[in-house]
Amino acid sequence: MDPGSRAAGIDWAVKLVTPFMKNRDDPAGVTIRAIRPNDNARIVEAFRALEPRSIYLRFFSPKKYLSDEELRRLTESDRVREAALVATVGTENQGEMIVGLGQYARSGRSAHIAFIVEEDYQGCGIASRLLQHLARIAREQKILQFEADVLAGNTPMLNVLRHSGLPATESEEDGIVHVTLVLGEGTE
């Protein structure tokens, strides 16, 4: 078990879901698990594999690489104020490969959430599954709501949030949609 993998009763070392298929024609299972300190190289590779549009939709600007500080914050989160989950697939040549990431950063009883999924795996339910599991973890940490800022043109992510089963409110300003999801009720 990773040092510090238990925080407030959450066993972060176990798989959070059973692997699921991305579609009926593709037998590659997708597993969602807690991010680990040794995921640095896999995260860098996953980021390099992303298309510029996906990066822009996530970060609101072009970005060529993740800084050392961004990598450190992702892989060394304290799992109370910040939490990060990855979606992985196994490949014969590369071993485990990260194809999606969801994270939250806590501020009081609220947390800001963000997601990114590799293009070949978009539309397969990965972001929705990441959101479900982050919501479960956040509830255990007594977080009451998630906040997300999404570019108005990022319809797929807005749909993930709108169809999460969680009570939601939205406001838009300057092409950015602010979504608040209430964690008290909803699907898991």
**Domain annotation covers residue 47:** yes
Residue with tokens 């037998």: 27
Three-class secondary structure of residue 8 per DSSP: coil
In 3D, which of 162, 83, 80, 179 has the Cα closest to residue 128?
162
**Domain annotation covers residue 170:** no
User: In which band, very low, low, confident or very high, does the pLDDT at 52 lie, cut at 50, 70 and 90?
Assistant: confident
**Domain annotation covers residue 164:** no
Q: Is the pLDDT of residue 9 over 50?
A: no
pTM metric for this prediction = 0.82
Distance, in Å, from the CA atom of 45 to the CA atom of 175, rounded to the nearest integer, reads 30
**Domain annotation covers residue 50:** yes
Of residues 52 and 110, the one with the higher pLDDT is 110
pLDDT tens, residue by residue, 87-120 = 998 855 568 889 999 999 999 999 999 999 998 8
Which helix (H) or strand (E) segment is 56 a member of? helix 52-59
User: What total number of domains does the chain contain?
Assistant: 1
Q: What is the CATH number of the domain that holds 37?
A: 3.40.630.30
For 39-43, 160-164, 184-188, which range has the lowest pLDDT when averaged over its residues?
184-188
pLDDT tens, residue by residue, 10-35 = 444 334 444 455 554 454 578 888 89
Structural domain for 36, as ranges: 6-143
pLDDT tens, residue by residue, 132-171 = 999 999 998 999 999 999 999 999 999 999 999 999 999 9
At 21 the pLDDT is 52
**Domain annotation covers residue 182:** no
Cβ-based burial of 151 (10 A; exposed 0-12, middle 13-18, buried ≥19): middle
**Domain annotation covers residue 95:** yes
At 4 the pLDDT is 37
pLDDT tens, residue by residue, 54-70 = 888 888 788 888 888 88
- What are the distances in angstroms from CA 148 to CA 44, 48, 113, 157, 176? 24, 24, 5, 10, 10
**Domain annotation covers residue 59:** yes
Considering the chain, what is the average pLDDT of its residues? 82
